[in-house]
């Protein structure tokens, strides 16, 4: 099943950090990053890195370990990602 994904913006990620009340190191841990310096590469600078869907999904799953896949995708969307699941055999946009 193809997945069309647009990552959350750096602003979305900074808002999530604020909403959670996490430090940069806590955010890095949540997203499977080595540390705060790596987290900042997704939230600032002239060319911030786009957050990959697997990293975003991991964070959502860790924040709600009993959530279904669909609920984690909904969480990803709530923090600014666009995720469209295209069933096999259907025309893709």
Angle at 74 between CA 15 and CA 9, to 5 degrees: 35
**Could you tell me if 79 and 16 are in contact, meaning their C-beta atoms sit under 8 angstroms apart?**
yes
**Could you tell me if 56 and 81 are in contact, meaning their C-beta atoms sit under 8 angstroms apart?**
yes
Q: What is the pLDDT of residue 52?
A: 97
Q: What is the pLDDT of residue 86?
A: 80
CATH code: domain 3-85 is 1.10.260
Domain ranges of the chain: 3-85
pTM: 0.88
Angle at 30 between CA 29 and CA 36, to 5 degrees: 45
To which residue do tokens 């957050």 refer?
51
> pLDDT tens digits, residue range 36-93?
999 999 998 889 999 999 999 999 999 999 999 999 999 999 999 999 988 765 555 5
Q: Phi and psi of 53, rounded to 5°?
A: -60, -45
> pLDDT tens digits, residue range 13-51?
999 999 999 999 999 999 999 999 999 999 988 899 999
Q: What is the CA radius of gyration of the chain?
A: 14
């Amino acid at each position: 099943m193809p997945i069309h994904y647009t990552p959350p913006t750096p602003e979305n990620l900074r808002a999530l950090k604020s909403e959670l009340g996490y430090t940069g190191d806590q955010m890095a841990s949540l997203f499977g990053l080595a540390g705060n310096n790596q987290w900042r590469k997704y939230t600032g600078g002239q060319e911030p890195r786009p957050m990959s869907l697997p990293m975003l999904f991991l964070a959502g799953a860790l924040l709600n370990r009993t959530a279904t896949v669909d609920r984690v995708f909904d969480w990803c969307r709530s923090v600014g990602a666009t995720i469209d699941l295209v069933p096999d055999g259907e025309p893709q946009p």
